[in-house]
Amino acid sequence: MKKRIPTSKMNEAIIDFVTLKQPPAKNGRRLKIYYGSQVGVTPPTFVIFVNDETLMHFSYQRYLENKINETFDFSGTPIRVFIRERSKE
């Protein structure tokens, strides 16, 4: 399935996902999700930029993968989601 999700739609969806379920906190620091973008089509590959990737719990990453899958109808297609720290330039 070759489907491209515009970054603007992806970011609107991420805002909704975070509103439904807040990101985890560890040692008093909360994960902040800045934005997400689709970087590959076959298989659908997404990168989500955060403040500190060590704060991303595997269960929250799985939650995001599942929400992307159901929101953009990638049913039957495995998707990949990578977490990256936003560069501090």
CATH 3.30.300.20 fits 7-85, yes or no: yes
Q: What is the DSSP letter of 48?
A: E
Residue 89 has pLDDT above 70, yes or no: no
Residue 77 pLDDT more than 80?
Answer: yes
Residue 73 confidence (pLDDT) above 70:
yes
The ranges assigned to domains in the chain are 7-85
The alpha carbon of residue 64 and the mean position of all alpha carbons in its chain are separated, in whole angstroms, by 5
pLDDT tens digits for range 10-66: 999 999 999 999 988 888 899 999 999 999 988 899 999 999 889 999 999 999 999
- Is residue 3 very low, low, confident or very high in pLDDT (cuts 50, 70, 90)? confident
Q: Rounded to two decimals, what is the model's pTM?
A: 0.87
**β-bridge mates for residue 49, sequence order:** 35, 84
Please give the Cα distance from 42 to 79 (Å, whole number).
9
